[in-house]
Structure 1
Amino acid sequence: MTSGNAQLSKRILSIDILRGLVMIIMALDHTRDFFHIEAMTGDPLNPDTTTGMLFLTRFITHFCAPTFVFLSGLSAYLSAQNKTSSEASKFLLKRGMWLVVVEIVIISLGLTFNPMYNFIILQVIWAIGFSMIFLALFSRISYKTVLITGFILVLGHNLFDLLPAPNNESVGVILKIFFTASGTVVPLGNNHLIGVFYAILPWTGIMFLGYGAGKWFSKDYDPKKRKTNLLNFGAVALILFVALRILGIYGDPAPRKEFQDVFKNLLSFFNVSKYPPSLQYTSLTIGVALVLLAISEKFKNKFTKVLSVYGSVPFFYYVIHFYLLHTILVIVFFASGYELKDIMSIPFFFRPTKFGFDLWGVYLIWMVVVLALYYPCKWFKKYKETHSQWWLRYI
């Protein structure tokens, strides 16, 4: 292998390491949703009611979705280098539409275990799918168009927080779906609901910025300059977060609360809005992601090798982990003495409101799930490397 190819492989490895890390942490939050005793009744980020450990458990998972979306955009740029502009656009369009279908049909079922689809949950895969559709269109114009649009969306979407709600209900729903959704529930008839938890365009902005950063990871880009860029932009993002948080004028729909307690004030400082991802939230999470990308190229040990396994097959891991978690939930549900009459609940079947464990149980189940998925992920990684069926490009 030539030195240029070796450098490229190393750069790709750094992406897989970071993506693997966030995939593992992400599973912790979903485990908490299914198994924590207060998941359905409390807010783990409320400084008034939470504990330090519970806050940290939820807060560290804040870094997962934006990093995952950012890296999806970065990977889209790298993938496009081996295709014509038309081929890259068509692939993004088809993959985006495929992901939207997967969110509705496969992931919603894994989350709810409700075969009647009474409650369809639209989360990060839905947002990634639509973002890829927009990326397919904007990337045909130019790289610069994607980058500028990404900055406009990330920096400017919180302007909608300052505007009054529209009088027209339909316009209001569309605005929520594309810009301000924080848990918008849209009824479909009497027995079916759609929960839109990820407003599309703020996440599109993050993906577009990831696409823009992809140029730094191209084959002929100077590694030292790439590292400098990652560190500098990461530092700027973190400084922006601190400045906006202190000023409290713009960048988050929920103003920072002041407490008499120093510890509660610290928690409040970092309690930024994810739904939708505010500018302050994005500055913090992507700032950290950029710094980790810069330093992870030097990491090469057994732990990073394990992380890269999860990070190399993120879609496979993401789908399977929901089904494994919910299967364990069913077992615990019946083992806890619940009966068939207790199955139906919203949003998750087999998940009563007053059910679950303290945090120690959540962490134990999380570790079991992550470890159980290592060898399936390793097998699928090898399968993708040794097979070339068309459908593998979509998984």
Structure 2
Amino acid sequence: MSQLVMTKNRVQSIDILRGIVMIIMALDHVRDFFHVQAFQSDPIDPATTTPILYLTRWITHLCAPAFVFLAGTSSYLVGLRRSKAALSAFLIKRGLWLILAEVLIVTLGWTFNPLYNLLIIQVIWAIGISMVILGLLVRLPLTAIFIIGLVIVLGHNLMDYPEAAHAAKHQPLGFWWDLVHGARFSYYPYASSRGVLIVYPFLPWTGLMLLGYCAGKFFAPDYPVAQRKKVLLYTGLGLIAGFFVLRFINAYGDPVPWTTQTTAVRTVFSFFNVNKYPPSIMYMAITIGIAMIALVALEQIKNPVTEFAKVFGQVPFFYYVLHFFLIHTLTVITFYLQGYGTKDIVSLQVPFLFRPVDFGFPLWGVYLVWVAVIFLLYPVCKRYNAYKSTHRQWWLSYV
């Protein structure tokens, strides 16, 4: 019985953290659709941002790394109930499904364009291809997977140097390079009025997922609780300390060095303005460091807030897809309520339909919409989670 309770608690800590980052993630996407300045300025540009806008954007940096890392951890836990061959097949199939879902479902949620003039490759694609790669590697010893993941995470910023050299000569390295590492919202047309927008190159995310898979060992039923907490806490603190040391040195680990700004606050903004596209070592160190410490803390907390968050963390893909369609539907309603018409549906400055460049609210309005989105999604996710927990159809493991 104690072993069963321990396993349940460990899964709960993962689900709670995943739920928290999913809730925070929705804030960023609501900001994309509803903040009046979303397509006019960079919210983390130290020279132009405000403290509240900067923090609103920066806190969402925690979401994708924690989500990818925990996807790897969950894959390890799934493997405890399956053979290596079965786990490999499951991860490859699920990864391919996620890639397809990114292109056909998530893209539609972002754009509301049924003609698919723009295909957007983001975090679900990165998780999907990383799962396929993990599925090919799971037969290797855990130490080998850890080494591969560590080499990728620590070494991928070396690829910044050829990118910078080619950029200086105005010679882009091309589609495949951007797909693997170099993309920073890179657009590639493949037909007249049709193209692909690469937002998430996959290599760094794959490295992070491999490390998350290895971290799953600490959540196995036979791993001592006290030892797990110690490992996670010290590793998290070490990552944060490493972030401050390397970021202060300002020589390697992020393609954009921090600089002294006109005020101390803006200098701090520059210091923490680490690169997400692709995720730099500095970006992953600070975000995963915080996530590991949060896992330790959340294991000891059970209250209405954690139970609320856990609902979203137990059905993350269902929630992820649904929240885009809800946010965009609310955008369409607001679009017409604000007096926009048919001529304004398509904007050359914004890739989403029904979202003109000057559309939206001040930041306080973004927060109100965000709260509404979360509370509208909660009963739907709770009901789906109840269905999923009492049914065993094969497709439930993919949604």
Task: Please say whether Structure 1 and Structure 2 have the same fold, judged by a TM-score greater than 0.5.
Answer: yes
Q: Name the counterpart of 1:191.
A: 193
Equivalent residue number for residue 72 of structure 1: 71
CA distance in 2: counterparts of 1:49 and 1:382, whole angstroms: 46
Match of 1:181 in 2: 183
Pairs within 5 Å for 1:327-366:
327-345=329-347, 346-366=350-370
1:379–1:362: structure 2 CA closer, same or farther, 3 Å change rule?
A: same
Mapping for residues 213-232 of structure 1, pairs under 5 Å = 213-232=215-234
CA–CA separation in structure 1 for the residues paired with 2:281 and 2:147: 16
The separation in 2 between residues aligned to 1:384 and 1:255, in whole angstroms, is 46
Q: Deviations over 1:179-207 (max 9, x none)?
A: 12111111111111110000101000111
Determine what percentage of the aligned residue pairs are the same residue. Answer: 49
Output aligned runs, 1:355-394, within 5 Å.
355-394=359-398
CA distance in 1, matches of 2:145, 2:26: 31
Q: Distance in 2 between matches of 1:158 and 1:173?
A: 18
Give the drift of 1:9: 0.2
| Cα distance in 1 for residues equivalent to 2:127 and 2:170 | 28
Distance 1:386 1:378, change over 3 A: same
Deviation at 1:162, TM superposition (A): 1.4
Going from structure 1 to structure 2, the CA distance change for 1:182 and 1:140 (only over 3 Å counts) comes to same
Contact 2:17-2:295 at 8 Å conserved across structures: yes
CA distance in 1, matches of 2:134, 2:98: 14
Alignment partner of 1:237 is 2:239: yes
Q: CA deviation at 1:141?
A: 2.1
What is the SS of the residue equivalent to 2:195?
strand
Separation (CA, whole Å) in 1 of partners of 2:216 and 2:36: 41
Query: Which TM-score applies when normalising by structure 2?
Result: 0.97
**TM-score, normalised with respect to structure 1:** 0.98
1:171 deviates by 5.4
What is the CA distance between 1:146 and its match in structure 2? 1.5
Partner of 2:158: 159
In structure 2, the partner of 1:90 is: 89
Gap regions ≥5 residues in structure 2: none
Preserved contact between residue 139 and residue 145 of structure 1 (Cα < 8 Å): no
Look up the match of 1:123.
Answer: 122
**One-letter code aligned to 2:210:** F
Q: Secondary structure at the match of 2:174?
A: helix
Q: 1:172 aligns with which of 171, 174, 182?
A: 174
1:325 paired with 2:324, answer: no
Q: CA deviation at 1:142?
A: 2.4
Structure 1 unaligned regions, length at least 5: none
Query: How many angstroms apart in 1 are the aligned matches of 2:144 and 2:174?
Result: 28
Q: Is the 1:165–1:172 Cα contact (8 Å) retained in structure 2?
A: no
For 1:76 and 1:137, locate their aligned partners in 2 and report how far apart those are by CA, in whole Å.
Answer: 13
CA distance in 2, matches of 1:76, 1:362: 35
- Structure 2 CA distance for aligned equivalents of residues 182 and 252 of structure 1: 14
Match of 2:282 in 1: 280
Q: Aligned pair count?
A: 394
- 2:54 aligns with 55
Whole-Å separation in 2 of the counterparts to 1:297 and 1:351: 41
Please name the residue that 1:104 is paired with.
103
Q: State the Cα distance separating 1:170 from its structure 2 match.
A: 8.9
Residues in 2 aligned to 1:172 and 1:243: alpha-carbon distance in whole angstroms: 34
Query: Do 2:166 and 2:172's aligned partners in 1 also have CA atoms closer than 8 Å?
Result: no
CA contact (8 A) 2:84 2:139 kept: yes
